[in-house]
Amino acid sequence: MTTSAAAPSDVEKATSGAEDAPRTTGHGWLSQHVGTAIVGGFLGYILGHWLGNYIGSAYPYIANSGQNSLAVLLALLFMVAGWLLGIGALNYPLLKIVGREAKPEVEHVGWSKYFRYNLDHKVVGIQYVVGVLMFFFTGGLLAMAIRTELLSPTVHVFSADTYIKIVSEHGTIMMMMASSIVVGPLGNYFVPLMIGARRMAYPRIEAFSLWTFVAGYFVIFSALFFGGFPTGWTGYAPLQTQAGPGMISYLFGFAVISVGMIAAGFNLAATIINYRAPGMTWSRVPIFVWSIIATAALLTLASPVLLAAGLFGLLDKTAQTAFYVTEHGGSSYLWENLFWFFGHPEVYIMALPGFGIVGEILPVFTRKPLFAFRIAAAGMIGVALLSFFVWQHHLFQSGINPDMRPLFMLTTELISIPTGFIFLVGMGTMYKAKIRYEVPMLFCMAVYFNFLIGGISGVFLSDVPVNVTVHGGFFVLSHFHYTIMGGLIFAFFAGLYFWLPKMTGRTMNKKLGLWHFWTMFVFFNLTFFPMFIIGLLGQPRRVFTYARDLQTLNDFSSIAAFCLGASFLIFVANLMWSQFIAPQKSPANPWDSLGLEWQTATPIPPYNFERIPVIMTDPYHYSEVGAPALVDSGDGPPVHASSFVASSTDPDQ
């Protein structure tokens, strides 16, 4: 192996031999970009719709029903295929059939690369930021609509029908967004940098995951044009079977998203396993990367079950099978089991990367090593493993075999042990440190504050007797908003404020950042804490009307929610102002982090590291006298932790 790999002549021959191969992407407006993808999606939609009607016309029961689900499904399927074809995702797979290879990627410069099928993980990371924010703000606007309706139990802004569509879209869009909000942008961008890799293992699969994710947005959004769907994000059958064609968008949308999730997890897992730089042993892998590999395991193994569940649902709607139709030999419990077998690992797909970000950021601002590193990593793996064994706690009152209830109560409560490790790690790291309260650090503290409430209310929910009170009400709604929004979304913003200076070379405005943090934190708690009480007082989820005596609490929650919504405007203003309108050049390492990602040049060269770095220790040796050298980057002396000690004492550095 060494002999030939060492011979450059071979390599040059190989590259020159591929020169006549066609290019997968090119320059100019006539090449493939988002515009061609939209055209492809549009044409695909029309073609699929026509095909579905053509096939459907042969079946009297479709022709007579006045509603052709098959046409909707094929339209969406071809739309996604056309979209992928248009963006160029299928060029390489198609070329392979005739045995041809793609040419080495042309390097796009300037803005246009963000609108293309780009294989650079840094570009994909930025594209993902835009993608998840698109999901997030759409879902957020729908949340504002929900809270508007709940201002009064008697005066209605929306019809009951519209309201339930809004609720369902909100839940589904947010779930889709949350499963990628950290893994997509920050995972793709920073994992290779943190492990000293020059590239992803499967850059095409990575880019594919992004563009399917975006396609999933259009698919789930299309539900509104088909009359929406009434099932909430959980899509329970038989309501699913009963629903109109909007349900197809839901089922197919989740299928598309799950393919994207599988692709993203697959690539990240393969990269972390194989592309760690020399010396990057598992005990030196940063905690964020640990969280991402635990998440990748869940993404690759849990999402296929969602894919299968969605496929069966689509077959029920189009091929008239009876998977979820109890009267015909199917079972509505089958959907509940398949869905939650995916759905509970999904919850940890959302939680784990948040823990990873917090673990990564705390040492930087406390100037202390991460406390009990091994326990943190073990906690993440433990959570990932256990998460496959808790799904039936969603079905405690559903009429499942009652023998199962104590068992799932036990496994669910057990999972709070590894989750608790994250608190041990955080508290140990903060203990007697000289903490710099920069914006990312504040968001991390907020994660601990919020997730504590979310986690503890989760213990209440896992207790079967208490679950009788709180299941299906606003209590559980508040619980998962505290974990997902209070945990993950706060962690995402911590990560964004922390890493944007590296991603764009421009620093975020601190004052606006502080405003954003405090408004978001305060109004988040004011919005969701009352919901615990509303839930205990007997308000079920997803209702457009409620008991009259709950109006004060609901109004309070609604007004806080509007302010919470407004706090994101501060973020958007900050983003626009400090990244585009009046960009402030960021110092190379504004937080004095020892993380390997900060030791690269800014802007990061296409191959990240001039030379493959040799890792000499883990990146948490803050404030350590005589700390070992961090990394040998090949040019110049090894980077040393002590070189940061002097500047670390100055909080305004």
Partner 1 sequence: MSLESPKNYGENDFRHIVTIWIVLSVVLDVLYWFLVGPHVPPGRMTSTAKDNQLDFNVLFVIALPVLIGVWEWLAFAGLRWNSKRKDAPESVGGPSAAGKRSAEWSWIVITSVVVLFLAGFGTVELYAGNGSGGGEGPNPIQQPAGAVRAETAAIQGTGSWSPNSNEVLPVQVIAQQWKFTYRYPTFGGFESPFLILPNDTQIAFNVTSLDVIHSFWAYQLEVKADANPLENNVAFTKTEQLGSFEVRCSELCGIWHGAMFNSGKVVSQSAFMNWATSTETKNAQNTKDLPPFAWTYVPDANGAAGGYYPDGNVTPYSTVEIYGSKQPS
Partner 2 sequence: MTDMIKSSQKMSDTPEEREFELRAHIGAIWSGGRLFIGIYTFLLAALAFSYFYLRSSNNGLLWRPDHVTAPTAYGWTIYTLVLLAALMAIFGQARLRKGSVSEWQVAVWVGVAASLLALFLQVWEFTAVPFYPGSSGYASTFIGYSVINILTIFIVLYWLETTVARSLRMNKEIGGVAPQLSMHPSAQSFRANVASMTYFLGFVALASTLLFAMFYLL
Instruction: Round to whole Å and give the CA distance between 513 and 389.
Output: 40
Query: Under rule CB under 8 A, which residues in 213-252 are in contact with partner 1?
Result: 230-232, 234, 236-239, 241-242
Instruction: Round to whole Å and give the CA distance between 469 and 460.
Output: 10
Binding flag, residue 161, partner 2 (CB under 8 A): no
Of the two residues 213 and 544, which places its CB atom closer to partner 1 in the complex? 544
Query: Under rule CB under 8 A, which residues in 1-20 are in contact with partner 1?
Result: none
Site map 173..212 versus partner 2, x via CB under 8 A: ------------------------xxx-xxxx--------
Of the two residues 213 and 448, which places its CB atom closer to partner 2 in the complex? 213
How many residues does the structure list for the chain?
653
Paired tokens of 346: 């999904």
Closest of 125, 127, 47 to residue 80, by C-alpha? 47
Query: Under rule CB under 8 A, which residues in 562-601 are in contact with partner 2?
Result: none
Contact region for partner 2 (CB under 8 A) — 14-22, 79-87, 210-218, 354-362? 14-22
Query: Under rule CB under 8 A, which residues in 380-409 are in contact with partner 1?
Result: 396-403, 405-406, 409
Query: Under rule CB under 8 A, which residues in 308-347 are in contact with partner 2?
Result: 308-309, 311-312, 315-316, 319-323, 325-331, 333-334, 337-338, 341
Give the max Cα distance, the chain.
81
Contact region for partner 2 (CB under 8 A) — 295-303, 427-435, 464-472, 474-482? 295-303
- Name the minimum Å distance from CB 220 to partner 1: 17
Instruction: Round to whole Å and give the CA distance between 623 and 647.
Output: 11
Of the two residues 556 and 568, which places its CB atom closer to partner 1 in the complex? 556
Question: Which run of H or of E encompasses 631?
Answer: strand 629-632
Q: Kindly state the number of chain residues that form the binding site for partner 1, as judged by CB under 8 A.
A: 102
3 binds, among partner 1, partner 2, none (CB under 5 to 8 A by kind): partner 2
Query: Under rule CB under 8 A, which residues in 618-647 are in contact with partner 1?
Result: 620-625, 627
Binding flag, residue 603, partner 2 (CB under 8 A): no
Of the two residues 290 and 571, which places its CB atom closer to partner 2 in the complex? 290
Contact region for partner 1 (CB under 8 A) — 30-38, 490-498, 540-548, 609-617? 540-548
371 binds, among partner 1, partner 2, none (CB under 5 to 8 A by kind): partner 1
Instruction: Round to whole Å and give the CA distance between 222 and 177.
Output: 16
Beta carbons within 10 angstroms of residue 608's beta carbon: 21
Q: In what order do the strands lie in the sheet with 629-632?
A: 614-615, 629-632, 639-640
Binding flag, residue 436, partner 1 (CB under 8 A): yes
Site map 330..349 versus partner 1, x via CB under 8 A: --xx----------------
Binding flag, residue 545, partner 1 (CB under 8 A): yes
Closest of 221, 302, 318 to residue 262, by C-alpha? 302
Cα pseudo-dihedral 494, 500, 503, 507, rounded to 10? -150
Instruction: Round to whole Å and give the CA distance between 3 and 468.
Output: 68
Q: Over the Cα atoms of the chain, what is R_g?
A: 25
Contact region for partner 1 (CB under 8 A) — 124-132, 452-460, 480-488, 606-614? 452-460
Transcribe 26-89 into DSSP letters: -SSTTS-SHHHHHHHHHHHHHHHHHHHHHHHTT-HHHHHHT--HHHHHHHHHHHHHHHHHHHTT
